[in-house]
Amino acid sequence: ADDVDSCPVPCLVSDNAYASYARIAQVLHPAATLSAGCHPTAVIGEHCDIDPSAEVGAHCAIGDNVQIAAGVLVGPGSVIANGVKIGAQSRLLAQVTVMQNVVIGERSVLHPGVVIGADGFGFAADSGVWAKVPQLGSVVIGDDVDIGAHTTIDRGAIDNTVIENGVKLDNHIMIGHNVRIGEHTIMAAKVGVSGSTRIGKRCMVAAEAAFVGHIDIADDCVITARAVMNHSVTEPGVFAGLLVADEVDKWRKNAARFRSLDGFVRKLKALEKTVAMLVRERDK
């Protein structure tokens, strides 16, 4: 803004240049125009409601009772199981798998290899073997959600797994069953979220962070790379848990010290008790 007067041509001044660039680029480079209709190699089930403006690509398999709204792209090689509903203008780019009864909102983008609604990881120990727990819920994805390549979102065990409006997920993310991710939260690659975790709105999660199951994360939290969230968080904040790389000899020495940390803590507590006792004796 300070240089406007010296600019010899018309200019755009923005408080957020990157966001302005994103909007301009969207206008100048819109998504490819759809080829409305179903490719001859696509297999379409019974009682489907596919809007005439939608495109179903080559070698797609569409189950029964599927609803595909206006302007939807189902890219080549995708599999849409029975009872799926896909909202207007959403795009499943290629080889996307959407399992039974999943709901996808409007203007959402699913990149190649995404799997939505596979069974959650539910098994009960029974006399030394694992009995499968039927996964009876589904997945509900909101509007304007972006899901990166090869990300997987499991269906719920009883209730649904829910991805709220505006969530952005990078590649190779794992979302477990019955997870809920709040509006406009963004996650980088290889994040893992265990079952029944609830993550708030507008959170930012860096690459390879991990969440144990059955915890709640407040709105507006920032989780740094490789942090392990093993407890609930009730207030916004920045949370870290990564030991950064170091010269190997130093790293090995520090790693060895970490293994001795519990002993040091016990000795320190004993020393504190002794000092406190001596201070009391002195002050008598």
Catalytic positions are 177
Please work out, in degrees rounded to the nearest 5, the angle formed at the alpha carbon of residue 164 by the alpha carbons of 112 and 118.
45
270 sits in which H/E element: helix 261-283
217 sits in which H/E element: strand 216-217
Across the beta sheet with 174-175, the strand order is: 43-44, 61-62, 79-80, 97-98, 115-118, 152-154, 174-175, 192-193, 210-211, 228-229
The CA dihedral of 178, 60, 186, 155, to the nearest 10 degrees, is 0
Task: Round to whole Å and give the CA distance between 99 and 61.
Answer: 11
Confirm if 192 and 211 have CB atoms less than 8 A apart.
Answer: yes
Task: Round to whole Å and give the CA distance between 108 and 156.
Answer: 20
Neighbours of 218 (CB within 10 A): 17
The DSSP secondary structure of 164-201, one letter per residue, reads -TT-EE-TT-EE-TT-EE-TT-EE-TT-EE-TT-EE-T
Task: Round to whole Å and give the CA distance between 147 and 151.
Answer: 7
Please work out, in degrees rounded to the nearest 5, the angle formed at the alpha carbon of residue 162 by the alpha carbons of 160 and 166.
165
- Two structure tokens written together for 67: 């609803």
92 sits in which H/E element: strand 91-92
The CA dihedral of 45, 103, 170, 77, to the nearest 10 degrees, is 0
